[in-house]
Structure 1
Amino acid sequence: MTPTHPTRRQLILGAAAAVGSAWALPGRAQDSSDIVVGQSAPLSGPVAVAFQGALAGERLAFEEINRKGGINGRRIRLVLLDDAYDTQRTVENVRQLVEQEKVVALTGLGSTAGVAAILPYIAEKRMPLVGVYTGAHVLRLRPHPTMFTTQASFKDEVEHQLRTLVTLKMDKVGVAFQDNEFGKLMMPVVEATAKELGATLVASAPLAVDGSTSAQAVGTIAQARPQAVLLIAVGPSVVGFVKAAKAGLNVPIYTLSVAASAVPALGGDARGLAMTQIVPFPWRQVHPMARDFNREAAAADVAVNYNSYGGYLGARFLIEALRRSAPAITSDNLIRTIQGIRNFDLGGIQLNFSPTNHHGTNWVEITIVGPDGKFMR
């Protein structure tokens, strides 16, 4: 997720949320008619900054609908708890949200391990989880009765990258992968997808999470003379590899959407980096939702970027599902409602669900980092 430079307003909201918060339209007391939605998110810890944009985007959407009178006169109240990106805290938070806060739905969980850990519990409780901030393919391998995704998976991103390279006759590909659970889970996905599409993986090299082995990884891959490189990493390892590649590997580098957090730290070295995106271009105000988002962001002093737009769109879909479930908004009814949604236009992405398909889209596009770190389509 792309980190944003938080505005003063975001810092105030983040400080209030760090110990857990119940949020709704300012100036009104909570009441029993509220539609209560729950979220466990890393408000502190190693990835807290990267989540600020998405959380700010969600708030824009909920504030917007509440300002307009909510759903049939009922406002949406988001109960937001900090999990510090810790699996056990995520499990505890979800139990609190379901059993004490009596939420009608969960939304916006961000940790792959955390989501995996709560799936049996929410299935037992028939609690819908609408939208997650992890693209892990492993969470999508088997149908889950109450989890719904509104963004493409990491596998979808890799497939789009490799399909593009094969089309461009650049099918000899090197892979640099982060030497942790994320990278190791992704390598079998990359290998299987390359075989399926007819690409040849000529070399692969692990990357230390802190980027300290970047020069060695670049050297290993360069010896195989690839036509392009897939970089399966986030954070400092992206920065280290791209900087090292400028001197020792003169081929295009393709990264996943989650690597966007490294663009500011790369500075001018980010120019030319190819990056898949799973959210439409937020600066092109052709779609009504993009116009709504940009208007709300400007009024609230929220930075416009892929993260904040992704959070806004995810919340807009949840709001639409709640609206279609009215007047009897229950967890079971919400599940049935989402399973019946077809061809819903979410900012330019078509979402389709059914009782056997809970993953609404595999939409991906490739952007290029241009001058001054700006994305170009």
Structure 2
Amino acid sequence: MRNYFEKRCHILARKCIGPFLCIGIQVAAAQTGPGVSDTEILIGQSCQLSGPLAALSSEVRQGASLYLKHVNETGGIRGRKIRIVALDDAYDPKKAAENTRKLIEEEKVLALFQYAGTPPAMAALPLVEENRVPFIAPFTGSDALRQKFSRYVFNIKAGYGTELEAMVRQLATVGITKVAAVYLNNPFGTGGLASVEKSAKAHGVSLMAQAPLEVDGSKMDLAVDKIAKAAPQAIIVVSAGKPSIDFVDAYLKAGHRSTFYMLSVISNSQLVQALGERARGIVVSQVVPSPWNQGVSVAREFQVLASAQGIKEYTFSQMEGFLSAKLLVEALRRAGSKPTRESLIHSLEAMKSVDLGGYPVELSPTQHSSGKFVDLLILGRNGKFTK
């Protein structure tokens, strides 16, 4: 009987039968928004807890966890602790969509945060739009999440197109005009390949060969053989995590040589662990400040919190997670004493000029993608980056 009455009241409120009844129901709804209680704020995440990209996803989550733990231990958001509900998608878009539906409908999270990878993020997008849920700082530079405006998606780093343009421009500047590209055989990789082709044409660089990489590492010998036959001066690797490293490893073991250019979604730690001194000379684009840079306040803050947790080995992926968490916290603090999905969206759109500690964020009602910073670094001796 009670459930019937509650459902009936909800229907009446929507039809606005009687102004007094409408007002009463609306006040109750404002007090019980999704994902927010008196003690905590629930945030949903679908990421790779297993599979070939799990190690990379782990670094990003570790960086975010560092900052969120600090915030929770120092009072949270107006006394509420932030709790991340993380579900494993193993880089499977179908599973990511299932996770998203569960997070929205069953867990009733306030927002979705730091989804890892282009296919999972794109699989979540229709549900994000349908349910009007803020989708904050996905760990992907996909241009598909930037070029078409969505009221619910917020990015704070440069996209893959910007990274790849920087690579091709630099290659052309130093006189390297014969390049090849390998790309992950999914929307992330094919989208990146299209950016490489566009930039190569604009800068007079010849794309000598291209080959797909499978997420599971199969058909690697075919990719190696196809690229090696073109004998490129440089190879642009449009991939993430383990498949990227496996290609370089296989290419070098087959006796071939080239200069490799990689996107920011690669772990410097994993590169050095897997390749050792063979990682020397690999160029990696970066879209966040260096975690070692004492001249940037967010890096100093990161180092202090990492040290307190016994973390001695730093990565750019950790730093990206850390910055994403700082954005989330800043948005929650601005979202009012009773945060709702709508107030969180408004707080993000009001970040017209926000400094996250030497990393500027510029968002507005018409601009939901911030971040233009791209730096190209070379792995030197002992796995250390140099300009």
Give the TM-score category using the shorter length.
0.7 to 0.9
CA RMSD of aligned residues (A): 2.5
3-state DSSP class of the match of 1:368? strand
TM-score (norm 2): 0.81
Q: Distance in 2 between matches of 1:237 and 1:111?
A: 14
CA distance in 1, matches of 2:208, 2:92: 36
Which amino acid is the alignment partner of residue 162 of structure 2? D
Cα distance 1:85–1:254, how it changes in 2: closer, same or farther (>3 A)?
A: closer
| SS, match of residue 212 in structure 1 | helix
Match of 1:94 in 2: 100
What is the one-letter code of the residue matched to 1:89?
Answer: K
The answer as to 2:344 corresponding to 1:334 is yes
Within a 5 Å distance, the mapping from 1:301-320 to structure 2 comes to 301-302=310-311, 303-320=313-330
Give yes or no for the alignment of 1:286 onto 2:295.
yes
| Counterpart contact for 1:228–1:251, Cα < 8 Å | yes
Contact 2:210–2:227 (Cα < 8 Å) also in 1: no
User: Does the residue aligned with 1:43 lie in a helix, a strand or coil?
Assistant: coil
- 1:59 corresponds in structure 2 to 65
Q: Deviations over 1:53-77 (max 9, x none)?
A: 1111111111111111112222222
Structure 1 residues 83 and 180: alpha-carbon distance in aligned structure 2, compared to 1, 3 A threshold: closer
- Return 293-302 or 43-52, whichever deviates more: 43-52
Which of 138, 144, 152 does residue 138 from structure 1 map onto? 144
CA distance 1:169–1:64, shift in 2 (3 Å): same
What pairs up with 1:267-278 in 2 under 5 angstroms? 267-278=276-287
Q: How does 1:342-361 map to 2 (within 5 A)?
A: 342-361=352-371
Counterpart in the other structure of 1:27:
none
CA distance in 2, matches of 1:232, 1:120: 25
* Number of the residue aligned with 1:363: 373
Superposition deviation, residue 366 in structure 1: 0.7
Aligned to 2:52: 46
Deviation of 1:130 (Å): 0.7
8 Å contact from structure 1 (residues 44, 82) kept in 2 = yes
**How far does residue 242 in structure 1 lie from its aligned partner after superposition?**
5.7
Give the Cα–Cα distance (whole angstroms) in 2 for the partners of residues 168 and 362 of structure 1: 23
Rg (Cα) greater in structure? 2
Paired position in structure 2 for 1:13: none
Unaligned runs of 5+ in 2: 1-35
Q: Is the 8 A contact 2:251 2:257 kept in 1?
A: no
Within the candidate set 114, 131, 153, 1:108 is matched to: 114
Among 173, 177, 190, the residue aligned to 2:196: 190
TM-score, normalised to structure 1's length? 0.83
Deviates more, 1:236-245 or 1:367-376: 236-245
| 8 A contact 2:52–2:243 mirrored in 1 | no
Distance 1:93 1:167, change over 3 A: same
Q: Quick check: 1:69 aligned with 2:78?
A: no
Whole-angstrom distance in 2 between the partners of 1:99 and 1:132: 20
Partner AA of 1:292 in structure 2: E
Instruction: For structure 1, list consecutive stretches of 5 or more residues without a partner in the other structure.
Output: 1-29
Counterpart for residue 91 of structure 2: 85
CA distance in 1, matches of 2:233, 2:99: 46
The correspondence of residues 158-173 of structure 1 with structure 2, limited to 5 A, is 158-173=164-179
Q: CA deviation at 1:205?
A: 4.2
Counterpart secondary structure, 1:213:
helix
